[in-house]
Amino acid sequence: MTQVTTHEIQELEKLVASDGWLILLRLLEEDRQAAIQALAEPRLSQDLIDYRRGALYASLQFPLLPHKVIEQLRNAELFRQAAENKSKPKTEAKP
């Protein structure tokens, strides 16, 4: 994973807090409801049922994606900082 700056993490956080993100989630929910209703058709092939189930699963996971990415980036930053601190020579306190 490439190194991500604190600014980039903040931009992702702003995205999730934005009105645009809320609009996207609302539209996604509308599409999800339409897909659920389409699954009720009695003459669907198993392949089409599986495809629509996969699309529904993806639509449920998509809203969680930014939060997961932000957490991964924060954790990567903490590990990087810990590695830097570990490699620094320790200075002894003088009495």
Q: Would you give per-residue pLDDT tens digits along the chain (95 residues)? A: 567 778 888 999 999 999 999 999 999 999 999 889 988 888 999 999 999 899 899 999 999 999 999 999 888 888 888 888 888 777 666 66
The pLDDT value recorded for residue 76 is: 86
Contact indicator for 70, 12 with CB cutoff of 8 Å: yes
Within-domain flag for 65 = yes
- Identify the burial level of 16 via C-beta atoms within 10 angstroms of its C-beta, where 0-12 means exposed, 13-18 middle and 19 or more buried: middle
Within-domain flag for 94 = no
Neighbours of 63 (CB within 10 A): 14
Within-domain flag for 54 = yes
The Cα–Cα gap between 49 and 66 comes to 28
Within-domain flag for 56 = yes
The pLDDT value recorded for residue 2 is: 63
Within-domain flag for 90 = no
Within-domain flag for 24 = yes
- Residues 6 or more apart in contact with residue 77 via CB below 8 angstroms: 4, 6, 9
The pLDDT value recorded for residue 85 is: 85
Residue 60 structural domain? 6-84
How many structural domains are present in the chain?
1
| Model pTM score | 0.68
